[in-house]
A and B are shown apart, each in its own frame.
Chain A
Amino acid sequence: MAEREQKHRTPERSDSQETANDESTQGVGDQGERNDKLKADLDDLLDEIDEVLEENAEEFVRNYVQKGGQ
């Protein structure tokens, strides 16, 4: 994980040296890291959903019937 973050950081740092507008480039770098973090979180989340999802999804959905609501 640390290695992957490092790989992503290196080119972004060189970008910022070439650009006058440090602030906006810094923003893009942060966004890249955030997206990586989000993707890793999402992978974990999908693993968890695989575990807790109703085993017989089709039957569960079919049986979920609610009548008489307002």
Chain B
Amino acid sequence: MAVAKLIGIETEYGIISGGPESDPITTSTLLVNAYASGLAHHIGWDFEDESPGRDARGAPRPGSLAPMVETHLANAVLTNGARFYVDHAHPEYSSPECATPLEAVLYDRAGEEVLRLAMAAAKERYPAAPEIVVYKNNSDTKGNSYGTHENYLLSRDVAFVDVVAGIVPHLVTRQIFCGAGKIGAETPVFDEVPDYQISQRSEFFEEIVGLETTLKRPIVNTRDEPHSDAQRYRRLHLILGDANMADVSTYLKLGTTALLLAMLEDGALPSDDISLRDPVKAVRSISADPTLRCCVETEGGRQLRALDIQLVLCDATAKYVESEGGTALGDTSIAADVVRRWQETLEALEHNPDSLISQVDWIAKKRILDAFQDRHSLDPGDSKLRAMDLQYHDLRPERSLSERVGLERLVSKEAIVEATTKPPRTTRAWFRGSCLARFPQEVVSANWDSLVFDLGSDPLRRVPMMDPLRGTAEHTEQLLREVRSAQELVARLET
């Protein structure tokens, strides 16, 4: 039986301030601190259990570079259960653990709102400084890429080698409905430079499996840092995806991947010949072909389009949800909805891709680029078009182009604003966020799987939260209502 597919999504945002001479680490730190200083009480991150160098394949590989944990940069835990901090040279928002892909869309959009509030806070605090502007994209168009990482809760019972074999065909081909699109190419991997790519990230991937995130990026990351009970769970960390502006793209990216992972646990993945002979080459060639006609070779020697592989996966998933209900997605109606939208999207990609202008980022962006180029008779490499490519992802409503293309919205503005401070009720993020809101003086630090309380005279008390499915509103709302102090809460938890 598949475990609940809790989902988290982390976004490293692009950031600029004034000219190229500005230091992105300083700018990102100003931005995060401007937001954090406006909160009731700034609660830091607890690095006690961080181990990003642990490899799911066992012993560390020779020459592998584990990501660094930077403890000195700005770091805040938010009452919605998220983490907002400076990672490398970018502001990063890591969403709280969410129980459904729709909830994950909401908390991803809440992250955009947090960044907008942070831009406003920085402007207010440093009125004379150059404006800080944030972009939700994955490349600077000059060969530098930054990530949007997905996390899924998995059962420890599935062997990692099966995870890789099972999910790679999907990861390579799903970009046709969740790519964010971009003009041209930034790496020397193509024999012929494409005019337009479906995905921002695909060309940066060089390995099938690996631990690195900044060099030799792998399609499946092996970081084995479950942030939960390692006997029972894995956290699958995927670094391949694009940051999406379109809700439907995010929803389908997370929903389809989560369902296929549940099927992997239940032994329900299709046995068709869809494993790819060269996944790294395939992910790039699919990205480089917005006509969706290019074929990639399977292990069995067949030539298939990305759409053909997606149709196989989608059909198998529809059957699985019909027979099993798809309860791993938190709600059977969500699983059915993901399948329905997936089917409709593939159908539209086959027959009328332009009809997806409100649902799929790479199509929306391409449509406005083509039309703008026509109207002004521009050369394909014109800097106005390149500016549009970036400005599609500008988070300022007055500048954002994605705000203007009429994207279909799955979550309301009101719900997004509420989600910037209120945690999801259905995971341990609820306990984390609620304790932060309720006891801002006593919670001295937090991380994904514990909270640290300072109760005065005693040593600091760590409250472990090793099961991401506990600490929900259902489990702890009553308790939090009953206790009158943090001391009483910790005492009750220890009995």
Binding site for B on A (CB under 8 A): 41-42, 45-46, 48-49, 52-54, 57-58, 60-70
Tell me whether A63 and B239 are in contact (CB under 8 A). no
Q: How far is the CB of B341 from chain A (nearest CB, A)?
A: 20
Tell me whether B89 and A49 are in contact (CB under 8 A). no
Tell me whether A66 and B14 are in contact (CB under 8 A). yes
Chain B at the A interface: mostly helix, strand, loop or mixed? mixed
Q: Does B205 contact A (CB under 8 A)?
A: no
Q: Report the separation of the CA atoms of residues A48 and B368 in the bound assembly, to the nearest whole angstrom.
A: 11
Q: Which residues of A contact B90 (CB under 8 A)?
A: 66, 68-69
Cross-chain pair count, CB within 8 angstroms: 98
Chain A residue with minimal CB distance to B28?
A: A68
Tell me whether A64 and B140 are in contact (CB under 8 A). yes
Q: Report the separation of the CA atoms of residues A65 and B88 in the bound assembly, to the nearest whole angstrom.
A: 14
Tell me whether B372 and A66 are in contact (CB under 8 A). no
Q: Does B178 contact A (CB under 8 A)?
A: no
Q: How far is the CB of B348 from chain A (nearest CB, A)?
A: 14
Chain B residue with minimal CB distance to A45?
A: B404
Q: A60-B390, A64-B16 are in contact. List 9 more A-B contacts (CB 8 A).
A: A42-B367, A42-B371, A49-B404, A57-B383, A57-B386, A67-B144, A69-B89, A69-B145, A70-B239
Known A-B contacts A69-B144, A69-B147; A49 and B368 likewise in contact (beta carbons under 8 Å): yes
Q: How far is the CB of A52 from chain B (nearest CB, A)?
A: 6
Chain A at the B interface: mostly helix, strand, loop or mixed? helix
Known A-B contacts A57-B386, A60-B387; A66 and B144 likewise in contact (beta carbons under 8 Å): yes
Q: Which residues of A contact B141 (CB under 8 A)?
A: 61, 64
Q: Report the separation of the CA atoms of residues A60 and B405 in the bound assembly, to the nearest whole angstrom.
A: 22
Interface size on B, residues (CB 8 A): 46
Interface centre among A46, A62, A67 (most CB of B within 10 A): A67
| Chain B 362-406 residues near chain A, CB threshold 8 A | 367-368, 371-372, 375, 382-384, 386-388, 390-391, 398-399, 401, 404-406
Chain A residue with minimal CB distance to B221?
A: A70
CB-CB nearest 9 A-B residue pairs: A69-B146, A68-B89, A57-B387, A66-B140, A68-B88, A58-B383, A70-B213, A57-B383, A70-B147
Tell me whether B401 and A46 are in contact (CB under 8 A). no
Tell me whether A65 and B142 are in contact (CB under 8 A). yes
From the candidates A46, A58, A65, name the one contacting B375 in the complex (CB within 8 A).
Answer: A46
Q: Mark interface residues in B340-360 (1 if CB within 8 Å of A CB, else 0).
A: 000000000000000000000
